């Protein structure tokens, strides 16, 4: 018992509350090494490889592909080869999630569930005697449900968060109905489905009780609901967004008519982008500063750098390097806004916007002020490639003290970008193009690039933003400092 290891849903990032098991790479009986990938777990933004913390034999797999699990929920068991099935079952039955992001199992058997009261006028004050998972107890308290009235579908009648949610969805409440009335009000065993499946069924107008589940014990997943909706011609005319994670959206539905409409459900990434940027525009007091920058000296310098070395650098790599040095020169612009606090950073961790299928992601070049333009070029190529392959790690997209969005390669002359909170600013970069300019009182042709800095006025005022842009402009127009 003591040598067995609980593999539980991890917590990756402050905002993560649940994850989807996208793919399981191992089978029961497989021997795994420490650090070996055993599952792919998907959060709002990315799919992450989940590695074994210790080596051993996969004694049991509890989760199924497509399952949405709350932080700390049990996914699998790793143990010695000679552990009996009975010991594994005892371990599973005694598992307790003791903290968000850290889990362990007790070796003592869990207490038997307390008998449901004959009548109750308030939620049970003490749920310690009920055989239920900690997430189930937290959810019951949140929903004001007497958990003793909930029928558990787990091993030995253990109550899960899904059971509590099913009880609540069926109209159950802690207020109480007498036990005789409460029993039929908790049909948790009738429909077993993941939270994501329930939400998707509700949005598509599908009776989840009619869906055939493909998971263990007939549990219904999002994919089962999607398949049911496709076969039954579910009404998607509400334009609802369906998946809860960054999984591919269901196939587009075509509504015929004089002007046929193709309805494509938003994937989890697009939903997250929509939510966060809407909040940013509504809650962050944006203001904008623009400047034109001549690039001819920079282009000449870039040509020399590329001719002299094996690493080919782009104009964008110089822009990242210049932004890092400008943030170091004007450190008050290297800021995040956190309510009553402003967080100023020693180094410039620059988020770069990368367009990928289904949305946008912002991997981070850490300490860009300390890296050469060649190092930045190598790192950006790697980050962009792994972003498009969905292989970035959480710590590679979380944080950042400043953002750059470059649409110049698409021919966009100038634009205003939306700030990525809690960062204090984002720089929108347009295309370099030949323009007629005045030099020494005479007309001349120069390659000019327009950039616009969106600032959070709570953290950066106009004068501070202007100082940053002045430093940034000087570095690009006199680029020697960018290559030393």
Residues identified as active-site: 457
Structure tokens, 41: 């777990």
Which residues on adjacent β-strands are paired with residue 254?
262
Three-state DSSP class for residue 451: strand
The H or E element containing residue 406 is strand 402-406
Alpha carbons 215 and 280: distance in angstroms, whole number: 39
Three-state DSSP class for residue 76: strand
Burial of 232 (0-12, 13-18, 19+ CB in 10 A): middle
Report which of 416, 415, 450 is spatially closest to residue 433, judged by C-alpha positions: 450
For 448, phi then psi, to 5°, come to -120, 140
Structure tokens, 317: 């790599």
Sort residue 233 into left (φ over 0), alpha (ψ -120 to 50) or beta: left
Alpha carbons 336 and 334: distance in angstroms, whole number: 7
Count the neighbouring beta carbons within 10 Å of the beta carbon of residue 17: 14
Alpha carbons 129 and 202: distance in angstroms, whole number: 34
Q: DSSP characters for 309-369?
A: SSS---HHHHHHHHHHHHHHHSGGGSEEEETTEEEE-SS--EEE-EEETTEEE--EETTGG
Sort residue 325 into left (φ over 0), alpha (ψ -120 to 50) or beta: alpha
Alpha carbons 350 and 427: distance in angstroms, whole number: 10
Alpha carbons 97 and 74: distance in angstroms, whole number: 8
Instruction: Tell whether the torsion through CA atoms of 139, 280, 376 and 407 is positive or negative.
Output: positive
Radius of gyration (C-alpha) of the chain in whole angstroms: 28
At a CB cut-off of 8 Å and minimum separation 6, what does 275 contact? none
Alpha carbons 330 and 342: distance in angstroms, whole number: 15
Alpha carbons 451 and 404: distance in angstroms, whole number: 10
Count the neighbouring beta carbons within 10 Å of the beta carbon of residue 121: 9
Q: In terms of DSSP H, where are the helices of 100-210? A: 134-142, 161-169, 179-182, 195-204
């Amino acid at each position: 018992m003591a040598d067995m290891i609980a593999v539980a849903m991890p917590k990756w990032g402050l905002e993560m509350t649940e994850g989807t098991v996208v793919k399981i790479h191992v089978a029961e009986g497989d021997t795994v090494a420490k650090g070996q990938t055993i599952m792919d777990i998907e959060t709002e933004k990315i799919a992450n490889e989940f590695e074994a913390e210790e080596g051993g034999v996969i004694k049991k797999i509890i989760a199924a592909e497509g399952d949405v699990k709350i932080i700390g929920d049990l996914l699998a068991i790793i143990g010695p080869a000679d552990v009996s099935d009975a010991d594994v079952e005892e371990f599973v039955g005694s598992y307790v999630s003791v903290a968000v992001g850290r889990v362990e199992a007790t070796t003592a058997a869990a207490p038997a569930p307390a008998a449901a009261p004959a009548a109750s006028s308030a939620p049970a004050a003490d749920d310690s005697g009920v055989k239920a998972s900690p997430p189930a107890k937290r959810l019951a308290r949140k929903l004001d449900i007497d958990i003793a009235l909930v029928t558990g579908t787990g091993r030995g009648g253990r109550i899960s968060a899904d059971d509590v949610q099913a009880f609540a969805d069926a109209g159950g409440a802690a207020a109480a109905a007498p036990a005789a009335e409460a029993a039929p009000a908790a049909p948790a065993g009738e429909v077993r489905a993941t939270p994501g499946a329930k939400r998707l069924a509700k949005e598509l107008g599908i009776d989840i009780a009619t869906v055939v589940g493909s998971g263990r014990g007939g549990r219904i997943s999002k994919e089962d609901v999607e398949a049911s909706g496709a076969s039954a011609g579910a009404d998607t005319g509400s334009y609802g967004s369906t998946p809860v994670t960054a999984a591919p959206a269901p196939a587009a539905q075509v509504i015929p008519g004089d002007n046929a409409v193709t309805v494509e459900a938003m994937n989890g990434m697009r939903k997250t982008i929509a939510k966060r940027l809407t909040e940013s525009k509504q809650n962050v007091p944006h203001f904008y500063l623009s400047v034109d920058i001549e690039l001819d000296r920079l282009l000449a310098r870039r040509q020399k750098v590329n001719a002299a070395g094996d690493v080919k650098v782009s104009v964008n790599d110089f822009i990242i390097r210049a932004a890092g040095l400008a943030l170091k020169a004007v450190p008050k612009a290297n800021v995040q806004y956190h309510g009553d606090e402003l967080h100023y950073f020693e180094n410039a961790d620059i988020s770069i916007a990368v367009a990928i299928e289904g949305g946008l992601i912002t991997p981070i070049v850490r300490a860009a002020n300390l890296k050469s333009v060649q190092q930045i070029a190598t790192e950006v190529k790697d980050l962009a490639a792994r972003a498009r392959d969905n292989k970035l790690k959480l710590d590679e997209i979380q944080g950042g003290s400043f953002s750059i969005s470059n649409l110049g390669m698409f021919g966009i002359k100038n634009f205003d970008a939306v700030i990525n909170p809690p960062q204090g600013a984002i720089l929108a970069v347009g295309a370099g193009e030949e323009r007629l300019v005045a030099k020494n009182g005479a007309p001349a042709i120069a390659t000019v690039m327009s950039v616009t800095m969106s600032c959070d006025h709570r953290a950066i005022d106009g004068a501070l933003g202007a100082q940053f842009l002045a430093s940034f402009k000087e570095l690009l127009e006199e680029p020697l400092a960018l290559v030393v």
